[in-house]
Structure 1
Amino acid sequence: MGRFFALVLLSLTAAAATAQGARDCSHARSQVEASDCAAAGWAESDAELNRLWSIVKPAADARGRGKALLAAQRAWLTYRDATCTLESDRFQGGSIAPQVHAACLDRLTRQRNADLREMLP
């Protein structure tokens, strides 16, 4: 029964992520396809994170806020990675674990991207 609720939660998370511009993996025909799709979504959001960082960090440096921003980014990365490990550990050993982990990384990275967009010069 717990796995059923976890799958429902994952489906709702996927729907919310799609509403935020995340990749729609609902049409995957296998667990491998779903995991690959989630990983591709995270790769896209991570590339956007790096693009935004390359703009925001120099601007923060110019205002004397670069060290603070770097410290915040490092703390956020630690939080993101720990949170996603915690979320996927519930499914450790199961074929859905990589999908849950990648979907979490994608979701949190998209949220951080929104934060970084607010800092654009």
Structure 2
Amino acid sequence: MRRRFLIAVPLLISGGVALAADVNCRNPLDQASMNICADRDFKVADKKLNETYRALSAKTSKAGRDKLQKAQRAWVSWRDAQCQLNTLGSADGSVHPMVYALCLDQLTQAQTKLLDGQLHCQEGDTSCGGQ
């Protein structure tokens, strides 16, 4: 059974329903649109993370996959808790979904870079994943 490391980002849309498909993320005009665009950016980063994770998992030994899975699950919990802490100041505002998604996006991109480094180790680097 494969697990995806996703979380849902709630979109608080004030003043009516905004259709996500109608939002121009090159020039979002209101907070609801900015929230949607930030969520889209996070989803792109999360997709890349999952692709990198799967590639690294396929390259590792059974013991390595078990440790990778354990580390990634712990990282997802940490990321979510860290973003809850980082965005506490906006928790009651309409900007919160955007700020939270931006935090998730930033930390997810950093984790993808870390896993990608493990995926593309130099030969003989015993500190690198893929064991």
Using the size of structure 1 for normalisation, the TM-score is 0.72
Give 1:26 shift. Answer: 7.9
Amino acid at match of 1:60: T
Amino acid at match of 2:40: A
Give 1:83 shift. Answer: 0.7
Residue 39 of structure 1 corresponds to 39
Using the size of structure 2 for normalisation, the TM-score is 0.67
Unaligned runs of 5+ in 1: 1-24
RMSD: 1.6
Amino acid at match of 2:51: R
> Which whole-Å CA distance do the structure 2 matches of 1:92 and 1:26 have between them?
26
> Which whole-Å CA distance do the structure 1 matches of 2:65 and 2:50 have between them?
16
The sequence identity of aligned pairs, in percent, is 31
Give 1:61 shift. Answer: 2.8
Number of paired residues?
Answer: 96
Amino acid at match of 1:48: K
> Which whole-Å CA distance do the structure 1 matches of 2:58 and 2:109 have between them?
21
Runs ≥4 residues deviating over 4 A = none
Give 1:88 shift. Answer: 2.0
Give 1:92 shift. Answer: 1.5
> Which whole-Å CA distance do the structure 1 matches of 2:111 and 2:85 have between them?
19
Residue 104 of structure 2 corresponds to 105
Unaligned runs of 5+ in 2: 1-24, 121-131
Residue 30 of structure 2 corresponds to 30
